[in-house]
Amino acid sequence: MKKISYKEFTDFIREKVQETVSETVRIENIEKGNGKILTGLCFCSDEDRCISPIIYLESYYTEYLYGISLDELVRNIVVIFKEAKTKISPKIDELFNYENVRDKVALRLMNTEKNKRLLLDVPHRSIKDLSIAFHLLLEETDETTATMLIRNGHIKQWGINTETLWHDALKNQVSPARLYNMTDKLRMLTGDKRMIKNLLETEFKAEAQDTMYILTNSQNHYGASSLIYPGVLEKIKQIVKRDFFILPSSIHELIIIPQEDVDLDISEINQMISNINLEQVALEDILSDHCYLYSDGKITIP
């Protein structure tokens, strides 16, 4: 049987889901980052308020192409919505009062050029060719992290400004910075977390064999923003005792390498970063295509 197009699929899903729920179901194009657009199924109450996490349809279309029936996909989506509604609906009203969410504000680092359109709708500050946006950390478990990007409409609703978000995010540090040597980071990826040290919390002196470090946060989610927290980069400088390069692994983590330990020239480093971004990093997770240098208490683009 011939498969229907993606547009026909999303229209069908919206219509069939609408038949089973009382909320208004809408299809919206959601910009996730770096220009990537996803198709979201949104559920709104009578007050036109979103009452559950947006359900993105791209993965469901892939399942359909691989043989899962449309009826089964509709049932799965409805189940997910109803479970989320039960958990989240009582908390929705809290989001409309800033005092209820002030302590959940966190930083999110993104590439300015790649997010020009998104940044028109997002309060932010700038650092070099990057932008610092803000989100709410709504839920954090071992399996999932739920966040909500703060947009201009939110701060208008709350009656606050960007400076308020900036002050509260730095005060909260809801996802504290973490620095690991590469050996420990690789052990963590294999599930071995014995004696893993956050080097920012210890009186640590770099070992001779340590030439590469990972800077992230406690969630390993939007961890590149850790470099913004006051004192973090200077603490790293005390650890490695030298100027260091910052390689943008992704929006979730950064690679720290002492400048003296790098044998490549700047163009070769940047070409390596670009290649890795192209081949290994999801589009929405790319932070930058070039390195940064921390020297004399400042971040520069060498």
H-helix or E-strand containing 15?
Answer: helix 6-18
Mean of pLDDT values over 130-157? 85
Q: Delimit the domains of the chain by residue range.
A: 6-93, 98-172, 177-300
C-beta atoms surrounding 135 within 10 Å? 21
pLDDT on residue 22: 87
Distance CA 180, CA 139 (A): 25
Mean of pLDDT values over 85-95? 67
The burial of 241, by beta-carbon neighbours within 10 Å (0-12 exposed, 13-18 middle, 19 or more buried), is given as exposed
CB 260 within 8 A of CB 242: yes
pLDDT on residue 146: 76
Alpha-carbon distance values, 166 to 116, 124, 171, 199 (Å): 20, 9, 9, 26
Closest CA to 9 of 88, 94, 84, 68: 68
What pTM does this model have?
0.83
pLDDT (tens digit, 9 = 90+) per residue, 261-300? 888 899 999 999 999 999 999 999 999 999 999 999 999 9
Give yes or no for residue 250 having a pLDDT over 70.
yes
Long-range contacts of 4-7, Cβ-Cβ distance < 8 Å, separation of 24 or more: 6/39, 6/61
Closest CA to 221 of 112, 108, 120: 108
Residue 209: partners with Cβ closer than 8 Å, 6 or more residues away: none
Per-residue confidence band for 91, with pLDDT thresholds at 50, 70 and 90: low
Q: Is 137 helix (H, G, I), strand (E, B) or coil?
A: strand
Residue 289: partners with Cβ closer than 8 Å, 6 or more residues away: 270, 273, 274, 277
The percent of residues above 90 in pLDDT, for the chain, comes to 66
Highest-confidence range of 49-63, 119-133, 180-194, by mean pLDDT? 119-133
Closest CA to 225 of 131, 148, 119, 299: 131
Per-residue confidence band for 147, with pLDDT thresholds at 50, 70 and 90: confident
pLDDT (tens digit, 9 = 90+) per residue, 175-229? 899 998 877 666 666 666 666 788 888 666 655 556 889 999 988 899 999 999 9
Residue 196: partners with Cβ closer than 8 Å, 6 or more residues away: 180, 184, 187, 188
Per-residue confidence band for 167, with pLDDT thresholds at 50, 70 and 90: very high
